[in-house]
Amino acid sequence: MIEALVPLLVFLPLIGAVAAFIRERFGHGVALMVLGAGATLTLFHFFTMDHHGWTMNLGGWAAPLGIVWYLDGLSATLMTLTWLLGLAIGMYARTYLAGSTPFWALLLLMMSGMSALFLANDLFNIYVMLEIIGLSAVALVALANKREAVRAAVTYLMVSLGGSILYLAGVAFLYTQYATLDLFLLADRIDGTPLTWVALGLMGVGLLLKSAMFPLHFWLPGAHSNAPAPVSALLSALVVKASFFVVLRLWRDILPAQPDLLAWALGAMGVAAILYGSVQALRTPRLKLLVAYSTVAQLGYLMLLFPLSIQAGYAANAYAGVTFFMVAHGIAKAALFMAAGNLQLHAGHDRLKDLGQAAVALQPTLFAVALAGASIMGLPPSGGFIAKWTLLGVSLGSGQWIWIVVLLGGGLLSVAYIFRVLSLAFQSSTMPRRASGIHPMLQLVPLALGGIAVALGFNPMPIIEAITQAHAAAPQVTP
């Protein structure tokens, strides 16, 4: 029954985007209504649906001609995350970006693109959605209207277009061989010809470029740190994960084989990302850059999926752990960027060493950093801990000891950079405590998100079960 409402997740924000574009003044009203409705719908749907996978032929046309939508536990989890965070970011942006701004139209356009991306089950549809998401993300970065921001936006645009076009080239190479774009049909037909691997390689590089996976991360710190705070939150928490979701789908559903060497190489890339991102986050003098580099590092954990999922019997848990990681990181990272935005708003800059007074004045914000930070650090009992615990279990069970060191060592590195922020609150300052001058809403939203990031650790089963069920139903790559 409720499945009939799923198309609304794509069309409602699309209509809303047009409305918000035409009447910019009412943008926030329209957007918040759409976001509220979408968040309610996805949440309700997540808890009632069957996570084994559900197919819908759009307009009654079946594959290969028609567009087919597919929703399973994996995509539903990310869909729900997207809408809930979208709503939270909307509520934050309502206060942060006062006045009339194209933000709302772009936000809704992006929500529409993300929803359609999570639903898509054919390669070309995914391409179109990637472009929609990419272009609206670039426009959102350029909203800051400062020189650095626009410069970062131009770099981001080139990366985004380049990534999509590489992906499209791969799609074209696959189509001429197998004459289908549908993921499931492709899963049946695909075999390991050299051209197929070239195609998959192009798609993979394009997508990892968009996901800012080290060493293709170069554009992320600039774009994410120069954007306005709600935009940074949106990009770091959701956008990079959208393209990674496509990588996940390709790896899970259509790869002709999962070669050990490739899996380990991707895992090694992840380790490099964790190390590089953490070290940069430790060194940078700016708060927003610190948070952005933390994203570079945290994305590295997602790459552990590849080596961990090639062991028979552990794949489902590996997907569950990585997806849970995406959810926990998304929520925590949104909270961190909002908190950084508050500190910047209060102090007028984001130089870490001069933020002491702002940190003392904005105690709820710092508390939000502490809660979200606990999840990022993977301390129990938080969402981040459950994710890492699940991955630890897989590493131990499948005998891949090296990832244990990575998971725990990476956690310690994140402790070091998170406490660069937290220790600000404890610096003694002789200056009198100023009133915060920050709207309570701006502090409430990150605080609530931080709370959710920790609370996830107390009730992780719905998500883990959803992913496990989705994995059981997905087409299996035969090794």
* Residues near another protein (CB under 8 A): 64-65, 124, 127-128, 131, 135, 138-139, 142, 145-147, 150-151, 153-154, 157-158, 161-162, 165-166, 168-169, 172-173, 175-176, 179, 181, 363, 367, 370, 374, 377, 379-381, 386, 389-390, 392-393, 396-397, 404, 408-409, 411-412, 415, 419, 423, 426-429, 457-458, 460-461, 464
User: Do the Cβ atoms of 338 and 442 come closer than 8 Å?
Assistant: yes
DSSP string, 96-126: HS-S--THHHHHHHHHHHHHHHHHB-BHHHH
β-strand pairing of 54-57 with 68-71: antiparallel
Q: Nearer Cβ to another protein, position 62 or 158?
A: 158
> Which of 299, 394 has the CB closer to another protein?
394
Nearest approach, Cβ of residue 363 and another protein (Å)? 8
Tell me whether residue 202 or residue 237 sits nearer to another protein (CB atom). Answer: 202
**At closest approach, how far in Å is the CB of 32 from another protein?**
26
Closest to another protein by CB, 47 or 458: 458
Distance CA 187, CA 189 (A): 6
The sign of the CA dihedral 222, 223, 228, 232 is negative
CB 143 within 8 A of CB 102: yes
Question: Would you mind telling me the total number of residues written for the chain in this entry?
Answer: 479
Smallest distance, another protein to C-beta of residue 142, A: 6
Residue (113 or 277) nearer to another protein, CB: 113
At closest approach, how far in Å is the CB of 29 from another protein?
26
Residue with Cβ nearer another protein (118 or 173): 173
- The first and second tokens of residue 38, run together, are 């979408």
Q: What does the alpha-carbon distance between residue 294 and residue 391 come to, in Å, rounded to a whole number? A: 20
Q: Does residue 206 contact residue 165 with C-beta atoms inside 8 Å?
A: yes
Q: Which residues pair with 372 in a beta bridge?
A: none
- CB-based burial of residue 111 (10 Å sphere; 0-12 exposed, 13-18 middle, 19+ buried)? buried
3-state SS class at 350: coil
- Nearest-approach distance from CB 68 to another protein, in angstroms: 14
Closest to 329 measured CA to CA, from 239, 236, 267: 236
Nearer to another protein, 181 or 273 (CB): 181
Pick 163 or 300: Cβ nearer another protein: 163
For the record, the structure tokens of 91 come out as: 């509520």
**Least Å from the CB of residue 132 to another protein:** 9
CB of 316 to another protein, least distance (A): 12
C-alpha to C-alpha distance for 231 and 154, rounded to whole angstroms: 16
Q: Which whole-number Å values give the CA distances from 317 to 177, 397, 401, 404, in the listed order?
A: 33, 11, 16, 15
Return the number of the residue (39 or 109) whose C-beta is nearest another protein: 109
Beta carbon of residue 215, minimum distance to another protein (angstroms, whole number):
13
Put residue 264 in one of left, alpha, beta given phi > 0 → left and psi -120 to 50 → alpha.
Answer: alpha
Return the number of the residue (135 or 266) whose C-beta is nearest another protein: 135
Nearer to another protein, 432 or 437 (CB): 432
Contact criterion met (CB below 8 Å) for 406 and 271: yes
**Residue 394 neighbours by CB under 8 Å, 6+ apart:** 308, 311, 314, 317, 318, 321, 400
DSSP codes of every residue in 310-326: SSTTTHHHHHHHHHHHH
Q: Which tokens is 342 given?
A: 């508050």
CB of 349 to another protein, least distance (A): 18
In this complex, which beta carbon is closest to another protein, that of residue 270 or of residue 364?
Answer: 364
Minimum CB distance to another protein, residue 237 (Å): 23
